[in-house]
């Protein structure tokens, strides 16, 4: 019988006139650096991904953010890496378009934007604000060109626009619960365990969003395909939905969960830390192209206590 109930003025030149004073100042600065205590950590600062204001878990315990056995609570899932950017400078990817700098030219590593207002120019030519060195604002000049530079005025790469849309979405880590729960007493070896997560649009989807830029429109749809539970003992259980909350008075009370549970239960007594990771399918389409951007979100951990099944004899 079950007994439980229910996240840049140029730099001033260094003056080398008083080497003794300079040396003393340097030694003093080093001493202060060594002796100064480290700044205190912000108490209670949430460890949330940028743009997500809720990465906490819920239930009886606050939990511990992250899952050491299955990291990646805010990035691409399954080890997938984003494709190389279409625009690069000195080996690093750069945005092909910047609203302040204009369009990037891979041939010379400069951004170009029409100068406003336009000075007088020969017929057919235009003045452009040129920002070179991959967008270094210190290298900005105005140039006269007879034809637009390569890449000028082209629409963005569809996947780059899709990732911009994705960055605006709030895909939250799962809010998890288990039964037995610590507040109602321990569970027993060999008895079924129920797991469930809070449903909702930002936790499981589907979420649809779109954006347009220079004549290109991209639509993106995000939804959870599966949730993988780490039971804290090298056992992982995959469910296709958020699961069913345990009801001690429901028709499944004392039985395995109808849709998401550790049916065989834990084989030995101990306290285990349970966590869960949702695997999002993020699909996009636009500009005659389509693709997938896998994402994962990982909960914190919650403890579950399992005791030995006591056999009473007379």
| pLDDT single digits (tens) 163-196 | 999 999 999 999 999 999 877 778 999 999 999 9
- With vertex at residue 75, the alpha carbon angle to CA 89 and CA 228, rounded to the nearest 5 degrees, is 155
- Over residues 112-145, the pLDDT tens digits come to 999 999 999 999 999 999 999 888 877 789 999 9
pLDDT of residue 182: 74
N-to-C CA span, the chain: 19
**In angstroms, what CA-CA distances link 80 with 76, 143, 190, 193, 237?**
6, 41, 37, 32, 22
SS3 76: coil
Rounded distance, CA 107 to CA 114, Å? 18
Q: Over 80: is that where the pLDDT of 147 sits? A: yes
> Is 113 in a helix, a strand, or coil?
strand
pLDDT band, residue 13 (cuts 50/70/90): very low
Please write the tens of the pLDDT for every residue from 62-71.
333 333 333 3
Please report, rounded to a whole number, the percentage of residues in the chain having pLDDT higher than 70.
72
Tens digit of pLDDT for each residue in 235-269?
A: 999 999 999 999 988 888 889 999 999 999 999 99
Between 231 and 16, the higher pLDDT residue: 231
User: How big is the chain, counted in residues?
Assistant: 314
pLDDT band at 44 (very low <50, low <70, confident <90, very high): very low
What's the mean per-residue pLDDT of the chain?
77
**Separation CA 32–CA 66 (nearest Å):** 36
pLDDT of 39 reads 40
Bin 94: left if φ > 0, else alpha if -120 < ψ < 50, else beta: beta
**pLDDT at 4 exceeding the cut of 90:** no
What pLDDT, on the 0 to 100 scale, is given for residue 314? Answer: 58
Q: What pLDDT is recorded for position 48?
A: 38
Q: Assess whether pLDDT exceeds 80 at residue 10.
A: no
CB 232 within 8 A of CB 263: no
Domains and CATH numbers, the chain: 88-145 (no CATH), 158-307 (2.60.40.10)
Q: What is the pLDDT of residues 84-114, one digit of tens each?
A: 457 888 888 888 888 889 989 888 899 999 9
């Amino acid at each position: 019988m079950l007994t439980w109930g229910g996240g840049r003025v140029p730099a001033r030149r260094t003056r080398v006139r008083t080497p003794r004073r300079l040396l003393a100042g340097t030694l003093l600065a080093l001493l202060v650096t060594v002796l100064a205590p480290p700044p205190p950590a912000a108490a209670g600062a949430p460890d949330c991904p940028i743009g997500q204001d809720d990465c906490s878990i819920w239930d009886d315990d606050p939990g511990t953010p992250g899952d050491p056995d299955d990291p990646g609570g805010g990035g691409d899932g399954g080890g997938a890496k984003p494709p190389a950017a279409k625009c690069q400078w000195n080996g690093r990817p750069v945005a092909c378009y910047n609203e302040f700098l204009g369009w990037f030219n891979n041939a010379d590593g400069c951004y170009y934007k029409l100068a406003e207002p336009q000075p007088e120019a020969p017929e057919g030519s235009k003045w452009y604000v040129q920002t070179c060195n991959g967008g270094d604002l210190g290298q900005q000049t105005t140039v006269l060109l007879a034809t637009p530079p390569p890449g000028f005025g082209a629409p963005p790469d569809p996947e780059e626009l899709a990732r911009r849309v994705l960055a605006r979405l709030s895909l939250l880590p799962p809010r998890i619960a288990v039964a037995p729960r610590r507040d109602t007493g321990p569970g027993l070896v060999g008895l079924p365990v129920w797991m469930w997560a809070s449903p909702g649009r930002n936790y499981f989807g589907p979420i649809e969003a779109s954006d347009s830029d220079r004549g290109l429109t991209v639509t993106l749809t995000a939804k959870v395909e599966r949730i993988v539970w780490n039971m804290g003992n090298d056992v992982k259980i995959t469910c296709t939905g958020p699961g069913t909350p345990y009801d001690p008075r429901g028709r499944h009370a004392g039985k395995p969960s109808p849709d998401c549970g550790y049916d065989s239960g834990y084989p030995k007594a101990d306290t285990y830390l349970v966590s869960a990771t949702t695997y999002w399918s993020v699909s996009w389409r636009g500009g005659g192209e389509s693709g997938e951007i896998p994402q994962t979100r990982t909960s914190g951990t919650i403890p579950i206590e399992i005791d030995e099944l006591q056999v009473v004899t007379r």
